[in-house]
Structure 1
Amino acid sequence: MDLPDKEARTWAMFAHLSTFAGHLVPFGNIVGPLIIWCLKKDEQPFVNDQGKEALNFQITMTIALIVAGISIFVLVGIVLFPAVWLFDVIVTIIAAVKANEGVAYRYPCCIRFVS
């Protein structure tokens, strides 16, 4: 398989890194990759693939963080919430690095909402 061009790899990396907007803006973790995916999906197949991957993972993580947040009331969430957040940050960084290398990264524990 051919390596995606530099522009496609850069946009794919930004699709993953844009999820960190969620630390500043509510649901920015979903809006960031959604915008990049919508802008570039028809132009670059690699960005289409990685944009959907980032979007699906962030929707999954948002649901997981909501569940973890609610479970704080039964004390399980005190450990679960930071664990889910840390997992999100670590695998997002790995995905961004892999996308920049031209590797189509697949997140673990990801529900495919957008196909």
Structure 2
Amino acid sequence: MSEQTPPAIPEAGPSAEERQWAMLAHLSVLLNLVTALGGPIAAFLVYMFYRDRSRYIAFHALQSLVFQLIAWIGGGLLALVAWAIAGVLTAVIVGFCLIPFACLFSLIPLGAIVYGVIGGVACSRGEDFRYWLIGDWVAAAFR
């Protein structure tokens, strides 16, 4: 008689439900188009609901929450300040030179939407998606 070794069990990735909720956490950035803070609130609710159930969903929801707070709110405030400074300084002509920079800062929240959709698509495929700089910081919090 020969001993047979059991077949190796492949490492299980995230389930379809986990991929779906992680995708929705990332896509919650789209709520910011119609509501002021709907995206971060939705990501926070997904995190709170799944933090004890699924590490995968909790990680992606928390990552989405932090990203949206930094990119959407921080970028929006930066654009607001840039436009205010450019507006005030237009009285002395210097502000006209600052308008291109204010336009650039205004693109930060729109770029956040695109990046969030990329994260949602990656999670729907079961890939491990991490936002630049933010993903590693959130992963360190999960250790």
Question: Is the TM-score greater than 0.5?
Answer: yes
How many aligned residue pairs are there? 114
Q: Relative CO higher for 1 or 2, CA cutoff 8 Å, sep ≥ 6?
A: 1
Gap change, CA 1:90 and 1:32, over 3 Å in 2? same
Mapped partners of 1:13, 1:43: distance in 2 = 16
What is the one-letter code of the residue matched to 1:66? L
Q: Name segments (4+ residues, structure 1) moved above 6 Å.
A: none
Structure with higher Rg: it is 2
Listed as ranges, the gaps of 5+ residues in structure 2 are 1-10, 87-98
Runs of 5+ consecutive residues of structure 1 not aligned to the other structure: none
How do 1:1-115 residues align onto structure 2 when only pairs under 5 Å count?
2-61=12-71, 62-73=73-84, 74=86, 75=99, 76-82=101-107, 84-110=108-134, 112=137, 115=141
- Secondary structure of 2:134 counterpart: coil
Q: SS of the residue aligned with 2:128?
A: coil
Deviations 1:25-84 (A, max 9, x none): 2211210100111111111111011011101100111112211221112232122212x1
Aligned in 2, Cα 1:64/1:113: closer, same or farther, shift over 3 Å? farther
Q: 1:51 & 1:32 partners in 2: Cα distance?
A: 9
Percent identical pairs in the alignment equals 19
Structure 1 window deviating more from structure 2 (101-110 vs 9-18): it is 101-110
CA RMSD of aligned residues (A): 2.0
